[in-house]
Every structure is written in structure tokens, then in C-alpha cells.
Amino acid sequence: MAEEGSQSGVLALSQHPANSPELSKEELIKDSKKRAAATKIQAWWRGTLARRTLLHAALRSWIIQRWWRHTVVRLLQRKRRAALITYADRERAVVKLQSLVRMWRIHWRYCQVLNAICIIQCHWKCQNCQTCALLRGHCIVTADHLQFHIEIINP
């Protein structure tokens, strides 16, 4: 068959067996069977090439999809991390602010107590000479108010 066809595998029209008068009926049948077999092989080969091409295209698209999904997941993780960092920074700032406010309120209460003690000491020094009494007291400081309990003991 290689002698009859050109390089592309197609028979030239002048070499076609139907055009030669010296071929018998059996040879024509045999030749047509060869042609049918060659056509089937060529169809199978073309189908194989087409399936291979489709497989390569599918694999390439699968690789691109996998890369894209991985990229989307990475971006989502970055967004989540940024949101978590922002949330943590805000919470830290709120806690710091609350701490500063509590510290300021305690300092303010302390200053009130200190002023009250100074006033009591001042008055006590003035009256200590006259009465010679003892003072016993305690102070209760809460977040809302300040309480003094002072007892004057005469010996």
C-alpha cells in the first residue's frame, strides 16, 4: 500500500484500483476492504488525537481552576487575618481606655480621701492641744462613694 500512495497516505486518482482494467473482482473486494480498514484506523487515530487534545485542554483548565481556587483561599485568609488584627487592636484599645478611666477614677477618689484626711488632721491639730483625745477611724472607698467612720476616744 505504501507503493500505491503518496506520503500523506491518500491514493492518487490515477493509481486508484477501480481505474485499472487489469484488476479482478476479488482484488477489487480485497482493495475495498483494505480501504475500509484504513479509513477505520484513520478515524480511530483522529479520534485519539482529538481525545488527547481535549484531555490536555481539560488538564490545563483544571490546573488554572486549582490555582485560582488556591489564590481565592489565600486572599480570603489574608482578609480574615486583617479583620482579626483590626478586631484585636480595637479590643486592646478599648481595654486600655477602660483601664485609664478606672485609674483616673481611683486617683480622683484617692485625692478626695487625701484632702479629707488633711482637713481632719488640720482640725485635729488645732483641737489636740485642748482635748487630748484619740481618733480612731477607717475609710471605705468604693467606685461610687467615699465613707469615713471616725471615733473620738477620750482617755
Task: Show me where the domains of the chain are located.
Answer: 13-153
What's the CA gap between 123 and 68, in Å, rounded?
82
Instruction: Quickly state the pLDDT bin for 41 (edges 50, 70, 90).
Output: very high
Quick one: average pLDDT of 127-135? 58
Handedness of CA 38, 44, 50, 53 (dihedral sign): negative
Read off the C-alpha cell for 10.
491518500
Instruction: Quickly state the pLDDT bin for 12 (edges 50, 70, 90).
Output: very low
> Phi then psi for 137, rounded to 5 degrees?
-160, 165
Contact by Cβ (8 Å): 31, 17:
yes
Question: 112, 104, 97: which is closest to 147 by C-alpha?
Answer: 112
What's the CA gap between 91 and 125, in Å, rounded?
50
Instruction: Quickly state the pLDDT bin for 1 (edges 50, 70, 90).
Output: very low
- Residue predicted with more confidence, 118 or 4: 118
pTM beyond 0.75: the answer is no
pLDDT at 141 over 70: no
